[in-house]
Amino acid sequence: MATLSWKNRLAAHQPFHTTRVCVSHVADKTTKRQMGAEHVVYRKIMLAHDGSASATTGLRQATALARLCQAELYILGIVPTSGGFAIAQAAGGADVCGMKRRMIEQSLSEADTGEDCQGVNHVIAICEGDPLTEILAYAKEIKPDLVVMGPTDRSRFTRWFTGSTSSALLQHLPCSLLITA
């Protein structure tokens, strides 16, 4: 899989437009159809992927939802360069960020060619940086209707000290957020 920045991937992507209405119980965005019934509509779904098992669960749920809605799926692989990764990288020895990047690239490459993404119009991008900052920047660029992510594997102390990514996203995202279990 060729590695491009998310901006280059987005620039090369031909948007897929659909008018199909999706019915789902997981969101609060509604629209009315001519018949007067309320339906949930997602045209763009974004998945934040960090290579973890919970992100893989999020991938399955996001692709199923995108397939159901005939929505575009934007998968953002994030290589964290802050927090514990920055400390481990600075300590020397192994290239921690490089190993994490290769793990995410491998996982997203398998998703791209596997059954999960078949039949779903999708874009895969990988970036490095603070996960919160990168998720918000990518969401601002593509303007999704829904962001999907798995719970982060952080200790209670880390969440207390640096804050929760999902809590910050709830405050700053202009769309719905689905956190998978």
| 53: Cα separation from own chain's centroid | 14
What CATH class does 6-179 carry?
alpha beta
The most confident of the ranges 29-33, 38-42, 86-90, 125-129 is 125-129
**62 or 169, higher pLDDT:** 62
Percentage, residues of the chain above pLDDT 90: 29
Q: In the beta sheet, which residues pair with residue 123?
A: 74
Quick: pLDDT tens for 23-58.
434 444 444 344 344 556 799 999 999 888 888 888
- Secondary structure class of 34 (helix, strand, coil): coil
Which residues 6+ apart lie within 8 Å of 15 measured at CB?
A: 72
Q: Where are the domains of the chain?
A: 6-179
Rounded-to-integer distance, Cα 134 and Cα 6, Å:
10
Query: Where do the H-state alpha helices sit in the chain?
Result: 6-12, 53-69, 84-90, 96-113, 131-142, 156-162, 165-172
